[in-house]
Structure 1
């Protein structure tokens, strides 16, 4: 048996099961598969070392396969303890020879130990889901910084953190905001988060949404997706916002808009998708109904104030169902927290459908290729993905769906590129 790459995973015996699931996801990732086939021929990452901190799922595994086909030497750490699929981690190590540091349910110390293990190889490029790997590089692992040429960030939360780092002059290398491509945030955030969040709530609680009041905190692309899916299932949707434009957008889309303190008293299910902290707090828990369910679909477990919930409760948490913890208040109300307040669609379910992640990871793969060719011309800071990459991913996705679009005639193209034509 060939020597295995460095790893820290739960059980190598799960590798065959993981491989079957990775191959199943691959069936729905036709764009990434085309890119992998080209990478295998052209080898754009020959001699390149990449460290990634991402959700260790079957879809991520297919991104790793594409990069490895292109010659990359990879080290993958998990970006969320509850999202790690142990069988996927085992397959990455045993079947695909990719160094992986991920165990489902690992504690905080183990989480950072895995990030540090991924950085031990002094990578040339870094991929992040939430900016924890980049933050570690700039705080406790600064000796690795000289080897890093650039990287990619795939989450809204991570891009917010990176932009603040850049504003403060702290970011030491170029990072590309893959999250901000249209084929990522318009589809992954809206359709992926919308479906997978509700899927997780159903798996955890088996609740019926029809006729219930669902409160969605945040009306960005993720909030739009969750709200529209909940409405489609017959729920009465209330949106809370801090941004007047987004609140107006929600109202124009037909949703009731309220402050959270008012929504707290009428909601049956609460879903946070803001990227900010303490969105659900003690005053909200005190106003909630018996049996209220709350879940977070933002990246970090800070949107629901679990400390305040614990202090308010006289009993609990008590695990009553899959990833469902019950907290009992002094007046006998039972409040139900899903996935420990972590990213619910990966903590209580399997995350986004592979067909959606196909576009996100195609963006990531092509951006990585572009970055290896252009990193020397990029200043430290946050950079946008070239629009050509975004359009190419959309074009390839349409092609794999059997769809075609129109092409400009020469006269149309000339008109659009001229200022001389009048009305």
Structure 2
């Protein structure tokens, strides 16, 4: 039995889901294919994902393929209650999610989704897989395989695999080229700044924006912040990524130095305490703190709370002001959680179209191939990544060249000289 906030919101949810669906032509094509081929017939899927209109497109596609789906939230602040209601009332999914639930409720919902005894699991941050391997080991014999779609989750899964703890194969959907390029770079780049602007109405032009981490997400953020007129400073621990940022014209500094200069701070590293008490102690009055990494550990919110003599909650939506003893005010967005989903609507549907197309096709591949896979972290087959890119280009009316037979021979022969 689903656990959602308000079933009467279903009508509004359907309207928004249908609006998002207009910008998801690749997933629509796959849904039509799944309805005809039924690659997931009779299978049970448990998913821990952001409950958004775009995720609804993926759930409907899995259902079209024959699967029954139980869905829990991967972040309490990203749940859209009207989308949850629509999924339950109009589309027949089981949903366990309420916007703003506490930590206890969050994990209770994950447990409820797992009560369906799934054949396959879809995760967004590894919390569902982690729960299976700690609290619900009785279900490990039932789960055949899974997918993970975040950098943070993939990092955790690789650690589990190294320690021999991972008990079933998981595919790192996050690591496909189409997901990195669209979701991380273009999606995070745009939606994070969207969340910051919605929450604060700040003008980014002329501001110093400090971006912690220069992976795909950090690159997308840096490009878009510069495009809006900001001076961008990058902090990194990886010398290759720091060199890349430097060669692209961004200033690169240690966080201890950047903390003094920044007006807006955005963390996208997948690690903890990236902004810590020492950094908070030297920031400007009015500095804005935002996180776009998966978990709320990148900014040391506990240290910020301990340093504050006053906290003004909700001065704007998803905006809290911490007043320090010396009178400086630091502004924390979305409680240090994902600002793009808590303060905005997450990635545009056109971005999630590709990420969820990767997910859907990988699920179908797993249904046919899971028995041959070891309990480890696996890559998405290259042909799936290529197919998603091909479908996306076709939906955009973009044509590309094809290799001639002679060119194919040339690429596959070592006997042909210069």
Q: Distance in 2 between matches of 1:322 and 1:203?
A: 8
Q: Distance in 2 between matches of 1:415 and 1:294?
A: 53
Q: Which stretch shows the higher mean deviation, 383-392 or 39-48?
A: 39-48
1:115 partner SS: helix
Q: Distance in 2 between matches of 1:160 and 1:374?
A: 24
Task: Tell me if 1:135 matches 2:133.
Answer: no
**Where does residue 181 of structure 1 map in the other structure?**
176
Task: Tell me if 1:360 matches 2:341.
Answer: no
Q: Distance in 2 between matches of 1:175 and 1:194?
A: 27
Give the Å deviation of 1:55. 0.3
1:266-345 superposed matches below 5 A: 266-345=261-340
In structure 2, the gaps of 5 or more residues are: none
**TM-score by structure 1 length?**
0.98
In structure 1, the gaps of 5 or more residues are: 1-5
4+ residue segments displaced more than 4 Å = none
Q: Aligned match of 1:97 in 92, 97, 101?
A: 92
Task: Tell me if 1:108 matches 2:103.
Answer: yes
Give the Å deviation of 1:318. 2.6
Q: Distance in 2 between matches of 1:338 and 1:317?
A: 12
Give the Å deviation of 1:317. 4.3
1:147 partner SS: coil
Q: Distance in 2 between matches of 1:298 and 1:98?
A: 28
Q: Distance in 1 between matches of 2:293 and 2:24?
A: 24
Q: Which stretch shows the higher mean deviation, 410-419 or 350-359?
A: 410-419
1:247-305 Cα deviation digits (max 9, x unpaired): 00000011000000100001000000000000000000001000000100000000000
Task: Tell me if 1:259 matches 2:254.
Answer: yes
Q: Aligned match of 1:249 in 244, 247, 261?
A: 244
Q: Distance in 2 between matches of 1:187 and 1:19?
A: 25
**TM-score by structure 2 length?**
1.00
Task: Tell me if 1:226 matches 2:196.
Answer: no
Give the Å deviation of 1:376. 0.3
Q: Distance in 2 between matches of 1:259 and 1:335?
A: 20
Count of aligned residue pairs for this structure pair: 418
1:21-40 superposed matches below 5 A: 21-40=16-35
1:101-126 Cα deviation digits (max 9, x unpaired): 01000000000000000000110000
Q: Aligned match of 2:166 in 171, 174, 183?
A: 171
Q: Distance in 2 between matches of 1:371 and 1:298?
A: 28
